[in-house]
Structure 1
Amino acid sequence: MRRLYEDPAYDPAWPASHWRAAHPAPFALPPLDGSATAEIAVIGAGFAGLNAALEAVRGVGADVVVLDAVQPGWGASGRNGGFCGYGGTKLSDGAIVSRTGLEGARDFRAFQRAAIAHVGALIDDNGWNARQGPEGEAVLAQSPKVWAGFAAEARELHELYGEAVELVPPGALAERGLAGPGFHGALILNEGFPVDPMAYVEGLARLAIDAGVRIFGQSPVTALARDGDGWRLTTPGGSLRAKKVLVATNGYSSDDLPDWIEGRALPAFSAVLVTRPLSEGERSDQGYTDPRMAFDARRLLHYFRHLPDGRFLFGMRGGVSGTIAGHRQMEAEVRRHFEALFPAWAGAGTEHTWSGFVCLTGSLAPFVGEVPGAPGLHAAFGWHGSGVAMASLSGREIGRLMTGQGARIPALLSRPPRRFPLPALRRTWLRLAYAGYALKDGPLPRKPARTPAQSPAQPRS
C-alpha cells in the first residue's frame, strides 16, 4: 500500500471521538479468512460503500462483500462533524456552470438536495436516533468585505437555482443567537440538518447485513489485480474474487489501489473538538445560541454547532503531518481558533478531540463512475469535506450503475479527476495553499484580555 502520510495517521485504533464515546460498542465483524467469491466487492464500509452495497442487494439481489480495514465507521464516516447539507466540491457555482453548462449546474444542485433527502429518509424510515437538530445552515461572514459579497451570492442562488435565502445583517446577529467577535453577518440556507454520524453509519451497516451483504472487518485490501474477467482482492488473511469492484475509501485510499488513483486524490486533515456541556447562562454570555449547523466563509473554514446534550462541536481544516507530534499541534491549533471565535467559552474544557481525512481531487469535484480503461472497476471519492449527504446518494447511484439499474449521476461527478501536478509534492502544495488561504482569510479576532477580577467561564444556570 502506498499512502501519503505517516503511519500514525492510519492507526487502526478507534479515535477518541465524542461519537465513539457516545456509542461505546463498535462492530467486531470478523476478518476475511481464506478464499471467497462475490459478484461485487466494495472496499470501504463508510457512507458511499454501504449505500452502494445496500442498493445492489435490494435492487437486483446481487451477492456483495464489503471489506473494511478496521470496522464500519472507523474512517471519515464515523469521525466527521455530522453536517448533512450542501457540498461535495470546492468549485464555485460559476465554475460549475463553466464546466457543465447551466443545466449541468442545476442538475448537480438538485442532486445535492436529493442527497440530503436520501439521508433523512434512511434515518426516519429505519427509526435511527441520528437527527440532532433543526433544518437549515448558517454561513457566517468573517469580515465586512465578505458580508458585502453575501448579497450577490444570494442573488446568484436565486437566479441559478430559484432558491431563496435569508440575509442577517451584522446588527441583527445577537438577537438571532449568532453573535461572536469574528462574525459580520450571516446567510441562512434552508436545507440540511445535523446528524450523529456514528448512529447513521452503524445503522447503515446493520441494514446492509440484514439485507444479505457480507461485511468483513480488519480486512485491509493490500493488493488489487485483474483476474480473468474479474478482479482479485488480497487481504492479510485471504483473497476475494469478484466480477466488479467499488473503491470507496475516499481520504484513506492507497495510491496503488488502483494505480489509476495515484495523484488524483489528496487527503487533508480535518480536526474536531467537543466541549463539556455548556450551561444556558454560558451560551447567553457568548451570544451564540442558534441550534443550526454553521460554518464561516473562510477558505480554511471553521464549522460548529451545538449538540443536543449542551456540548459544543467545533472543527477546522489544517495540519499537514500525520505524526503524533503533528496531531498534538493540530489539537492545540483547533483549541486556539475555538477560543478566538468563542472567547466566553475559553473556560469550557475540551472533552474530546480527534482528526481524520477529508479528500480533495485534482479537479475539485467528486468522481463517481467506472475507472477508465479498467472494465468492472469503479470508484466513488472526493467529497471535499462534505460527504454525509453527497457520499450517501453517490453510493446509492453507483450501486445502481454497477447493477444496470439506470443510475442518475450528474455530469460534474462522472468526469474522471485530473492528477495534481507533481503528485509526489501534494503535501507541499497543500502546505503552501494553507499559507496563502490564511493570508486571504485574514487574522482571527483578538482574544480579549482578562482583568484580574475575571476568571475562566464557569457553568451557571
Structure 2
Amino acid sequence: MKAQCLWHETSPEPCLELPALEGRQSADVIVVGAGITGLSTALHLAEAGTSVALIEAGEIPSGGSGRNVGLVNAGLWIPPDDICKALGERDGERANAILSEAPSEVFALIERHGIECQATRTGTLHLAHNAKGEQELSRRVEQFQQRGAPVELLEEEACWRKVGTRQIRRALLDRRAGTLNPAAYTRGMARAAVAAGASLFTQSPALGIAREGDAWRVTTPQGSVVASQVVLATNAYSEEDWNQVRRHFFPGCFFQVASAPLPDALAGDILPERQGAWDTRLVLSSMRRDAEGRLILGSLGRGEGRPAAYLRCWADRIQRHYFPQLGKVDWECHWTGKIAFTPDHTLRLFEPAPGILAATGYNGRGITTGTVVGKGFARYLTQDDDSQLPLPIRSSKPIPAKPLWSSVYEGGFTLYHAGQCLRVLI
C-alpha cells in the first residue's frame, strides 16, 4: 500500500507549470495560499479586472484542497439551529442561506470554466450508524426542510439501495450536494485564474509580511510583491510564526485509504449513484467510490507515519462491517490532509490588520466554503460589499490552549481507531 494521494494521481486536470516569484513585483491584491479559497479569490478578482499576485509554497495543490474526501456539501458541519446558537440568529441564518447554495456555486464554476474533475451531482448521504444517529438525522432533516432544503430521510429498503449495506437503516440524502476529484478541481481553478489574468507563483513560500507606506510587502526566498490588500488563505496549513491565522484554529487530520478499482460485477451495488457518504460516529468514517470504481474509506486522525498494517487493519474492519460482500480487498494507497477546527465548529472571517483579510476554521467543509468565501472576498475587496460572504468580517479571538485541543482530538481519534482494529468498537 503506497503512501500517495489518489486524487493527484488520477486528476484529469494536469499540474500547471508555474514560475517561482522572483524580483520585486506589485499588484492590487496579494493572495497567500493556492488552495480553494486562495484560487477562488484570485479567479474572481481577475475576472473583475483587479491585478492579483498569488503565491504558493509548493505546487498546486499541496495542502488539504487536493487531499480531502471530495464531498461538495451544503452548510457547515453542525446543523442549522446549532449554527444560529453559535453565531446568533441573524448571522447564523445568513451563513445557513449562503452556504446552502454553495454546492450550486461550485458546480456553476466547474461548468463555466470546463473543469475536468469527475464531478457528480447525485447528492451526499449521511448514515445513521445506530439509534442515536437516527435521532440526529431526524433532527437535521427537520431543520433543513424548515428552510426549504431538498433533503429527505431514506429508510430501510430505500436506504439499502442507495448505500449498498444493510448495516445502515436510515440515511439523510442531501440532493444539493455531490462529489468531485478535489485535486482536479483545484488545478482547474488555477488554470481558470491564469486565463483570467491572475499571476500565480509556486515554490514561493511567504517568509514574512511588513508594512511599506500605505501598502504591504510579502517576501519570498527569491523575491517580493507589494500591494495595498492581502488575503491570507493558508487555513489549516498556517504554520509560520508571522502568520496570525495560525492562532485562530487548531489543526486536525483526516486520512483515507483507497482500494484497487473494483468491477461493477463485484461492487456495483455499493453507492451505485456515486454519492459520497459518512456516518454519525463521533469519530466518523467516510466512504465513496471514484470514477474508476475504487472504494475509498476515511476517518479523522493522522495516517502519515502509521504502519501500513495498522491502516490496512482499520480499512479491513470498516469494509467488512459495511460491505462484507467484497471479500478480501486489495488496498492500493493512503494519504492524509489537515483540517482547521474551531471549538464551536464555525468558520472565522477576520482582519488581522488593516488591509489584510483572513479565513479559517472550515471544519472539514473546505470545497464549498472556500469557493464561496473566495468569491465573497473578491467582491468585498472590489466593491466594499460583504453581502456574498457567509459571515460579516469581524474581529476574531485567538483560540486558547490550542495545543491541548489538538492533542485531545488526535489522541481520541487514535484510541477510537485502535478500538476498531481490536474489534472493541465499530
TM-score, length-normalised on structure 2? 0.89
**Which runs of 4 or more aligned residues in structure 1 lie more than 6 Å from their structure 2 counterparts after TM superposition?**
442-445
Q: Which residue of 1 aligns with 2:297?
A: 314
CA distance 1:224–1:385, change in 2 (3 Å): same
Which whole-Å CA distance do the structure 2 matches of 1:377 and 1:417 have between them? 13
Aligned residues of 2:46 and 2:197 also touching (Cα < 8 A): yes
Does 2:35 correspond to 1:49? Answer: no
CA distance 1:287–1:367, change in 2 (3 Å): closer
Which whole-Å CA distance do the structure 2 matches of 1:242 and 1:416 have between them? 22
Q: Map 1:160-171; keep pairs closer than 5 Å.
A: 161-170=147-156
Cα drift, residue 316 of structure 1: 1.3
Q: Which residue of 2 aligns with 1:300?
A: 283
Which whole-Å CA distance do the structure 2 matches of 1:224 and 1:140 have between them? 45
- CA-based RMSD of the aligned residues comes to 2.9
Amino acid of the structure 1 residue aligned with 2:81: G
Does 2:378 correspond to 1:399? Answer: yes
Cα drift, residue 124 of structure 1: 1.1
CA distance 1:334–1:231, change in 2 (3 Å): farther
C-alpha distance after superposition, 1:392-447 (max 9, x if no partner): 011110122122352325564634443332234343232355479x49xx969969
Q: Which residue of 2 aligns with 1:17?
A: 5
C-alpha distance after superposition, 1:349-392 (max 9, x if no partner): 12221111111124421122422xx1111112221111111100
Q: Which residue of 1 aligns with 2:185?
A: 200
Cα drift, residue 162 of structure 1: 2.7
The 3-state SS of whatever aligns with 1:70 is coil
Aligned residues of 1:100 and 1:411 also touching (Cα < 8 A): no
For 2:199, which of 195, 214, 236 is the aligned residue? 214
Cα drift, residue 143 of structure 1: 0.6
Does 2:28 correspond to 1:39? Answer: yes
The 3-state SS of whatever aligns with 1:73 is coil
Which stretch of the first structure deviates more once superposed, 332-341 or 378-387?
332-341
| Gapped regions of structure 1 (runs ≥ 5) | 1-13, 448-461
CA distance 1:366–1:92, change in 2 (3 Å): same
Which whole-Å CA distance do the structure 2 matches of 1:16 and 1:271 have between them? 11
Which whole-Å CA distance do the structure 1 matches of 2:31 and 2:157 have between them? 51
Q: Which residue of 2 aligns with 1:125?
A: 112
Which whole-Å CA distance do the structure 2 matches of 1:364 and 1:332 have between them? 30
Aligned residues of 2:249 and 2:402 also touching (Cα < 8 A): no
Which whole-Å CA distance do the structure 1 matches of 2:406 and 2:86 have between them? 27
Aligned residues of 1:169 and 1:184 also touching (Cα < 8 A): yes
For 2:369, which of 366, 375, 390 is the aligned residue? 390
Which whole-Å CA distance do the structure 2 matches of 1:211 and 1:134 have between them? 26
Amino acid of the structure 1 residue aligned with 2:381: M
Which stretch of the first structure deviates more once superposed, 422-431 or 230-239?
422-431
Q: Map 1:417-456; keep pairs closer than 5 Å.
A: 417-431=396-410, 433-434=412-413, 438=416
Q: Which residue of 2 aligns with 1:360?
A: 341
TM-score, length-normalised on structure 1? 0.82
Amino acid of the structure 2 residue aligned with 1:402: L
Which whole-Å CA distance do the structure 2 matches of 1:446 and 1:328 have between them? 15
Cα drift, residue 26 of structure 1: 2.1
Identical columns (%): 27
Cα drift, residue 241 of structure 1: 1.8
Which whole-Å CA distance do the structure 2 matches of 1:378 and 1:212 have between them? 21
Which whole-Å CA distance do the structure 2 matches of 1:178 and 1:317 have between them? 21
Q: Which residue of 2 aligns with 1:250?
A: 235
CA distance 1:277–1:237, change in 2 (3 Å): same
| Gapped regions of structure 2 (runs ≥ 5) | none
Amino acid of the structure 1 residue aligned with 2:68: N
C-alpha distance after superposition, 1:211-260 (max 9, x if no partner): 111111100112122222222212121222221111101111125242x3
Cα drift, residue 68 of structure 1: 0.3
Aligned residues of 1:273 and 1:335 also touching (Cα < 8 A): no
Which whole-Å CA distance do the structure 2 matches of 1:409 and 1:361 have between them? 22
Cα drift, residue 95 of structure 1: 2.6
Q: Which residue of 2 aligns with 1:375?
A: 354
Q: Which residue of 2 aligns with 1:96?
A: 83
CA distance 1:386–1:330, change in 2 (3 Å): farther
CA distance 1:358–1:169, change in 2 (3 Å): same
The 3-state SS of whatever aligns with 1:315 is strand
Amino acid of the structure 2 residue aligned with 1:151: S
CA distance 1:287–1:17, change in 2 (3 Å): closer
Aligned residues of 1:271 and 1:330 also touching (Cα < 8 A): no
Which whole-Å CA distance do the structure 2 matches of 1:92 and 1:127 have between them? 32
CA distance 1:63–1:148, change in 2 (3 Å): closer
Aligned residues of 2:11 and 2:117 also touching (Cα < 8 A): no
Aligned residues of 1:301 and 1:316 also touching (Cα < 8 A): yes
CA distance 1:434–1:416, change in 2 (3 Å): farther
CA distance 1:287–1:401, change in 2 (3 Å): closer
User: How many residue pairs align between the two structures?
Assistant: 421
Which whole-Å CA distance do the structure 2 matches of 1:350 and 1:188 have between them? 28
Cα drift, residue 209 of structure 1: 0.8
C-alpha distance after superposition, 1:87-108 (max 9, x if no partner): 44x4443332224444433321
Q: Which residue of 1 aligns with 2:139?
A: 152
Aligned residues of 1:276 and 1:349 also touching (Cα < 8 A): yes
C-alpha distance after superposition, 1:264-304 (max 9, x if no partner): 221211111221121223225x7653421211112322222
Cα drift, residue 263 of structure 1: 3.0
Which whole-Å CA distance do the structure 2 matches of 1:255 and 1:94 have between them? 36
Cα drift, residue 313 of structure 1: 2.0
Which whole-Å CA distance do the structure 2 matches of 1:370 and 1:426 have between them? 24
Amino acid of the structure 2 residue aligned with 1:120: F
Does 2:47 correspond to 1:58? Answer: yes
Aligned residues of 2:80 and 2:92 also touching (Cα < 8 A): yes
Amino acid of the structure 1 residue aligned with 2:23: G
The 3-state SS of whatever aligns with 2:107 is helix
The 3-state SS of whatever aligns with 1:173 is helix
Which whole-Å CA distance do the structure 2 matches of 1:93 and 1:244 have between them? 33
Q: Which residue of 2 aligns with 1:345?
A: 326
The 3-state SS of whatever aligns with 2:230 is strand
Cα drift, residue 138 of structure 1: 1.1
Which whole-Å CA distance do the structure 1 matches of 2:74 and 2:35 have between them? 19
Which whole-Å CA distance do the structure 2 matches of 1:225 and 1:401 have between them? 22
